[in-house]
Structure formats: structure tokens, C-alpha cells
Chains A and B, each alone.
Chain A
């Protein structure tokens, strides 16, 4: 019985880890106090390319298949293949620039903190004071 309880606790913990909050972060210069899930989706499908102050949006994404990436894609209702097709079409039509790809969540924070107009996503626990949080997906 103790073993079963221990397993259940571990499962709950691991589930908690994979379902950790995802924070959508931006460069501190971005004026928006917060953005909706559909706006995040519009930004990552390169439909929205400007902030309200007319600064260009710089989309930052993670190259490798981290759990945070899977969670984020699921929250905006897209698969990697969906986004790849949309990005290719938009970029090759000249309507937007390709997202900046980085390798890890730490790099996302560094890139977003250093790039005016940048937006990215990381686990909520990784957020630092160098970036602004625009949305949290529970």
C-alpha cells in the first residue's frame, strides 16, 4: 500500500512538473501590460508583426523539443509542422521575418532581454527581472 501511495505521489509530482506554468515573456520596452492567448497565437503565426507602439515583434522560439515548448504549442493550438508551414509561407512571401531560434530556455531569456520588441516563452519558474511577463498559461 505504501508503495502504491509513493508511486501516486511521484506521478502527481511528475505531472505537476510537466504541467508547470508557461510564461510568455517580452523585452521590457514592450508597452502591452498583458496579451491574450489568441494574440500570442497571432504573433507566433506571424499574423501580428507589430506591437502597439509600432515596434517590430521579434519572435523567439526554442529549436529542441523541450516539455515547455510542447506545452506552449499545445496552448496556442499548433503543432511544430503547422507552424513550420506557416512560417515558411510567410517568410518566403516577404511578409515577416523568420523567428529567432535558440537552444534553451536560458537562451530565450537572454535573447528576449537583449532584443527590443522580442517575445518568447519559458517555464514560469525561470522568469527573471530582466524580462516582462505578458501572459501565463496555467
Chain B
């Protein structure tokens, strides 16, 4: 053990010499952005409210390390973060080192946001987004009713990617691997000795191939991993005990199409999440998806529809179409939809939205947006819609 500690100490001393010598040569750019918002939320159920907030503040440290190496760190503070007041979240979003051999071959290693579809990589980059409320599964305010991590891989740990010129067309590719779904990453030291560790025996693999030409960009993308089939007791009594149905193979398939030109900007994406259920999972889901009859009084019973379906599959689609009215003013309309075969309450939700923005100076975008969420019929509540009005200022620095 002593030898090991001594070895580590010597290694650190040895490594620190060239690093210290190189640091003046490394040019680190520090930049970032934030978005302040005002929103007025008017649901048909629950309480109306309105609030100001700093929705997001991101800080980047981008360093050119020489000889094709570079590094990037992204720190994100969301929802008016304050540890003193216990508000919001502070996240290490990305920390990676990249080696670029050529445009065709680049490798990133660390923690990164993989190239999955169109929006995943930039879903939090508010200065790039015309809207304030993002398409549904990318909008953090819906995380209480949607399982985001089922729809896309928010993080990966190794990515090989590049692009190649094929005449007027540019071909893109990306291959990535990462930990399993963040739901299965340890948050308690008792789980696996350290927080942030993957507690599963499997990894997520994925990739994207695409093409760009004449302002258009299109791609197909996929990931393969497993859904850890552990269902906790609860769910209105439909899940009587904690149940384990095995690791369920899961694949996400996506297509994306976007275009910028003649003043128009258009983006769209569809994601389909499919599962190969284990025999145990089929039996379990069939059981919990059946209606149950419960006694509600002397001699009286009531039959309740299950809030659960007999499949874990789900899908998501969105499309936005905008127009740059002038160099500084733009307007857009948007639509997004989720379908979930497991969650019968939020089984088919639609958001329609309209908005506009103004760029008074290069690094400031003022935005306004109206969004309407239509959930449909909710048990015991009736038709549920949710109207939200937003104002925002997005500032890059």
C-alpha cells in the first residue's frame, strides 16, 4: 500500500511539471449565457401562478490544449439556483477532453451530451432557441409528468464523430457509449460505494448518421440499452409489492429534419422508444393494466380503470416553423406530442405554441411565447389544459 501511495505521489509530481509548464500556452475561453423569464401559468386544474426566475445560467470553459486536443467544461445553474435558499439545481453538465485528428475523426471522452437527433445537444442553450418553453420532453417544467430519460440519452461518456464532404453534401456520423439511464445511477453511497456510479451491468450504445446540404439537415439516430424492470409498490394500489421483472432491452429510434434558408427556419424530430418485454414483464404489465373492483361501502363496489398500460413503449414528435422577419426580429409556431402506452393518464399530450423574438444587440434576445398543453381527459378531473404565457431575456456573454 505504501509503495502504491509513493508511486501515486511521484506520478503526480512528475505529471505536474509538464502541466504547469504548459498551462500558459493553453488558451481558455470563458463564456456563457443566462435566461431570465417571467411566466404566467394558467392550468384548468391546480392553482394559477406567475413568477419571475432565472431559468438557466451556464458557464463554459473551452481550452485549446494543442496538437488537436481541447477540453470543455459546462456548469449549469437552473431555476434561480441558491444553495442558501435551497432553490434550483447546480449541475456539472459536461466535462470532456477531445482529440481531433481531422474533420472526419474526433473523439470526446468524459461526460458529454451525445449527438442524438437535432435538439438533444442544444436543448439547454437558450440563446440558440427561438422559444422559451422547449418541445415537451426537453422542457424541464414537465419533468413531473414525463420520464425524460426514457426518450433520449442526456449524457454519454465516449463519442467518436466526424463529417465528410461528398460534393455539395456533407455526411455526418457519431457513435457513442455511456452509462445506463440516469435513473439507475447511484444517488446513495450504500448502492455501490460512490454516488454517480452506474449500478447496472449494461451500458447505453448509440449513434447518428446524417447529411447536410443547401441549408437542410437530416439524420437517423438510435440507442440500445436496457430498462431496469423494477416497479415500486404503489400506483393507486395497482402495484401491491415491489416487483422485479428483469432488465428489459430498450431501443430509441429517431429521425430529424431541419432547414434554414430564404428567411425560414424549420426543425422537426420524431423519437420512438421500444421495449422487448421479458416474459415476467409481460405477465406483470398485463396484471397491473387490468381494471380492479374495490369495495366502497356496505354491499357497494366500484370498478377502477388502471392508470397503467400493458406496454412501456412511447413516442415523441415535434415541429417548429419560423421566419426571420428582419435581421433582428423573428416569429414562429410550434407543435409537439407525446404518446405513452404505460401511463394512461398522460397517454397523449399535445403542446401548440406561438412566439416571437427581438435581438436588440448581438448578444441579447428578447422573447415572448404562448404555449397551450392539452392533456385530454384526466380521471376524476375532466378535460385538462394548461396555458402558459412567457417573457424572457436570453443573454450570451
Contact = CB atoms under 8 A, between A and B. Distances in A.
A9 interface: no
Interface of B is mostly: strand
Given A54-B67, A54-B68, A88-B128, A49 B100 contact: yes
B97 to A, nearest CB: 11
Contacts of B165: 38, 42
A67 interface: no
A50 B100 contact: yes
Contacts of B62: 91, 94, 97
Nearest to B65: A56
Interface stretch (B10-18, B119-127, B185-193): B119-127
A123 B125 CA distance: 36
B127 A82 contact: no
A74 interface: no
Nearest to B125: A92
Contacts of B79: none
B95 to A, nearest CB: 10
B327 A98 contact: no
Interface in A58-112: 80-82, 84-85, 88-89, 91-94, 97-98
Contact of B327 (A38, A42, A81, A88): A81
B72 interface: yes
A94 B100 contact: no
Contacts of A89: 122, 125, 128
B61 to A, nearest CB: 9
Nearest to A94: B72
Interface residues of A, number: 21
B128 A97 contact: no
Could you say which interface size class chain B belongs to? 20 to 34
Contacts of A84: 362
Nearest to B261: A82
A91 B31 contact: yes
Interface in B69-105: 72, 74, 94, 96, 100, 102-103
Interface string A24-51: 0000000000000010001000011110
B324 interface: yes
A56 B64 contact: yes
A94 B74 contact: yes
A81 B359 CA distance: 11
A54 B170 CA distance: 22
Contacts of B44: none
Given A84-B362, A88-B128, A92-B128, 15 more contacts: A42-B103, A42-B165, A47-B103, A49-B100, A50-B68, A81-B324, A82-B260, A89-B128, A92-B33, A92-B60, A92-B122, A92-B125, A92-B396, A93-B125, A98-B31
Closest 3 CB pairs of A and B: A94-B72, A92-B125, A54-B68
Interface of B: 29, 31, 33, 60, 62, 64, 66-68, 72, 74, 94, 96, 100, 102-103, 121-122, 125, 127-128, 163, 165, 170, 260, 324, 327, 362, 396
8 contacts: A42-B103, A49-B100, A81-B327, A84-B362, A88-B127, A92-B127, A94-B94, A97-B62
